[in-house]
Amino acid sequence: MTHDAKRRVRRELLARRRALTAAERDSAAAGVQGELTALVRRLRPDRVAAYVPVASEPGGAQLPEVLADALPTGAQLLLPVLRRDLDLDWATWAGPQALVAPGRGIREPNTPRLGLTAISTADLVVVPALAVDRRGIRLGRGGGSYDRALARVSATALTVAPLHDGELLDTLPAEEHDRPVRAVVTPSGGLLRLDTPSGVVPHTCAGRTGGR
């Protein structure tokens, strides 16, 4: 029953995203990019894991470039590489010219792969979602790739899902394997942390000392 409920909600959310106009998508992308840029500049992480949004996903295709530009000198941006078993390997961002389209509707870096556990070294992890509820339960597209990846994330890392307005819901159907995220960012609502009563995000990442 939970699986069927997820499928119904997923269809509704995808239909709503497809109905967005180009202007609405561009406006949402700008809002999400601005919020995540500000977050990266506050946290000053050594390593960020993110992804390349496609189609109507919030953040826009330029999101990796925007995040990389906001990183401190020497910090790395990792992007996922989808394996045949639908698990996620990771590779370093080396600019838009190093992205390839493997034919699954996604874009991936063609730089050397770093292994499944590379995500465990990230201080900030930006993950795609169709919706998130107030508990942090995330609804993805159903492949399970990010539930496996999130299981490898450090306990000290901040996990954030970019959403369109209206995609932060009161509750979502959840299964045992679902992995929550700790925060969301929406174009109108900005950044909201879900695992603290105040919703406040710390100013620095654990492990980084000093400033630039």
pLDDT confidence of residue 104: 73
Query: Would you tell me how many other CB atoms lie within 10 Å of the CB of residue 156?
Result: 9
Cα–Cα distance list, 174 to 69, 100, 180 (Å):
36, 33, 10
Judge whether 69 and 51 are in contact, CB under 8 Å: no
Place of tokens 């990019």: 33
Query: Would you tell me how many other CB atoms lie within 10 Å of the CB of residue 3?
Result: 9
Q: pLDDT tens across 121-146, in order?
A: 999 999 999 999 999 999 998 888 99
**Domains annotated on the chain, with CATH:** 2-193 (3.40.50.10420)
Confidence label for 207 from pLDDT (cuts 50, 70 and 90): very low
Q: Is the pTM of this model over 0.85?
A: yes
Higher pLDDT, 195 or 180: 180
Cite the DSSP H helix spans in 82-200: 145-150
Q: pLDDT tens across 98-113, in order?
A: 999 887 778 999 999 9
Q: pLDDT tens across 69-101, in order?
A: 999 999 999 999 999 999 999 999 999 999 998
Q: Which two tokens stand for residue 151?
A: 């299981």
- The secondary structure of residue 212, as a DSSP letter, is -
Range with the poorest average pLDDT among 28-42, 147-161, 167-181 = 167-181
* Long-range CB contact pairs, 8-12, < 8 A, 24+: 9/130, 9/131, 9/139, 9/172, 9/173, 10/130, 10/139, 10/141, 10/142
Higher pLDDT, 121 or 177: 121
Judge whether 47 and 76 are in contact, CB under 8 Å: yes
